[in-house]
Structure 1
């Protein structure tokens, strides 16, 4: 901390990590534990079914992990710009910085990194998070940043998403994030049901539910895409402008949705075209009960003792009793 106009700036809140937060790390660890646990019991599965189980479980955990994780990521949209701008309000001193913006379903991350980091006898490396989900008042967080004396570029970008700004980006992104998050949780429930149906004797119903999972993932993307209908609000830094584009979470959700459609379509197609191949993939045997009946109906005769019909077929056989 350096002295600025006789006042030491104070930042009491915790910095939110730029890429990962605690919730996201917990989700990743939980799904990794499930994956490792399955890999430990995988050697106990015999034959070709081992590869089928490995493929099914890994793909299913990937889809489920993506559905849960993207709810907590902050890179549905992202943008970055390099500019010369003022560092403090009411100051004409310019700094050369990289301003970054990441928009999630529950808030925005704004970063400020000096180039170089040490300028004006200060270390310019900030990462601020402004939430708007689950009862968090964005304006309250923005006012708190004003009182704390955050750098001017961060406040300038954050102000674009406040309700004070005529662009009204806050309402567009907040409502779109609410609907996208709710739709993703419905997709997660559908994913759970599909996994239970895949373990049933008729896996085609799991294929139908997997199509529903993919449909809700696409609905979540469409819900978030409605922010593109917001009025054009340019975040300008001199000659450079900060224009966000779709980030990794958006494209990862799209991949998971298309993968759900692919899996559901293949299961339904195989159910009508090659049911035996589908049953083999899901380790199901239609003739299992028939085989058990055959085993129970078979009679095994000890070769040392001839059958009754063989004895009856020998007319010259006589029984004699010695006195």
Structure 2
């Protein structure tokens, strides 16, 4: 195969990384910008409240960025296998390669990396994304891959998830991913509400909303896990088989969901057992002291206090009045 202006004539360049794509990077940059903006203004906060603000804001941003970013990652379920397999259709040439399958909420990525990368006079390093979201046609993406002449291992794995495949897992993955994504967006909304409530005196309601955020994140994991109960077709490459398991995005969502439960339970427990410590952490004691001081200055008249404290003077009558 020859190059034309640095591009292979049949096999396109990598379109989407199975972990980080453009959407994920944009989400991370937005939250990093918010974090950097806060770090710029944090020197203006005095005393121990600076540390409390730093912990609260960074924890909140971590939860928010995970809720949004995992919806665009492609490693909710992933697996690798090393095998000797045919590289092209109607060819007896075999290549030694690592074949990876990475399943996200909106599609699958099939990766093919040669060992070594340069074999049969070609560079074997491919990654193809096949979307199954409601605004994308998976079968159309698969047909386009056939027309491009993608390597046989990629087409073999991608064919297992088509609507016409005997495996019958296309609808299960597509629907479970759709509901998992919708549940995560609800968790994002409750996360926003919890941040608003934490800026108010009723801190316990913010703790309740953090618990709701964690619950919806767990619900998204349960929604995605339902597809694991359906039988999965075996993907064989000679004696080797490709098996998948929960990926990094799944475990990261689980960890942040449990973190939300810990934060919510802690806030609710402190509200009932040590409210002063909770208000100190959220820097509410200073506001209350200033409010009391302002009320004293506005509503207490010093002249009235002097008249009230001075003893009454006896009245005397002049001789003329007698």
Q: Please report the TM-score for the alignment, with normalisation by the length of structure 2.
A: 0.88
Secondary structure, counterpart of 1:109 in structure 2:
strand
Unaligned segments of structure 2, at least 5 residues = 304-308, 314-322
Q: How many residues align structurally?
A: 300
Task: Provide the C-alpha distance between the structure 2 equivalents of 1:51 and 1:35, rounded to a whole number of angstroms.
Answer: 14
1:189-208 pair list within 5 angstroms: 189-208=189-208
2:276 matched to 1:276? yes
Secondary structure, counterpart of 1:266 in structure 2:
helix
After superposition, give the CA deviation of every residue in 1:77-130 in whole Å (9 maximum; x if it has no partner): 110000000001121111101001110000001110110111111111111000
Task: Provide the C-alpha distance between the structure 1 equivalents of 2:141 and 2:55, rounded to a whole number of angstroms.
Answer: 45
Contact map agreement 2:14 2:126 (CA 8 A) in 1: no
After superposition, give the CA deviation of every residue in 1:239-268 in whole Å (9 maximum; x if it has no partner): 111111101100010011001111110000
Q: Residue 246 of structure 1 corresponds to which residue in structure 2?
A: 246
After superposition, give the CA deviation of every residue in 1:211-258 in whole Å (9 maximum; x if it has no partner): 100000000000000111111311111111111110110001001100
Q: Residue 317 of structure 2 corresponds to which residue in structure 1?
A: none
Q: Residue 112 of structure 1 corresponds to which residue in structure 2?
A: 112
Task: Provide the C-alpha distance between the structure 1 equivalents of 2:180 and 2:43, rounded to a whole number of angstroms.
Answer: 40
Aligned Cα root-mean-square deviation (Å):
2.0
Moved more, 38-47 or 164-173: 164-173
Task: Provide the C-alpha distance between the structure 2 equivalents of 1:264 and 1:95, rounded to a whole number of angstroms.
Answer: 53
Q: Residue 188 of structure 1 corresponds to which residue in structure 2?
A: 188
Secondary structure, counterpart of 1:124 in structure 2:
strand
Q: Residue 37 of structure 1 corresponds to which residue in structure 2?
A: 37
Q: 1:13 offset after TM fit, Å?
A: 7.8
Secondary structure, counterpart of 1:268 in structure 2:
helix
Contact map agreement 1:85 1:94 (CA 8 A) in 2: yes
Task: Provide the C-alpha distance between the structure 1 equivalents of 2:291 and 2:62, rounded to a whole number of angstroms.
Answer: 35
Q: Residue 179 of structure 2 corresponds to which residue in structure 1?
A: 179
Q: 1:2 offset after TM fit, Å?
A: 3.9
1:1-323 pair list within 5 angstroms: 1-2=1-2, 9-11=9-11, 15-285=15-285, 286-294=288-296, 297=300
Q: Please report the TM-score for the alignment, with normalisation by the length of structure 1.
A: 0.88
Task: Provide the C-alpha distance between the structure 2 equivalents of 1:155 and 1:119, rounded to a whole number of angstroms.
Answer: 19
Q: 1:290 offset after TM fit, Å?
A: 3.4
Task: Provide the C-alpha distance between the structure 1 equivalents of 2:169 and 2:203, rounded to a whole number of angstroms.
Answer: 45
Task: Provide the C-alpha distance between the structure 2 equivalents of 1:289 and 1:71, rounded to a whole number of angstroms.
Answer: 44
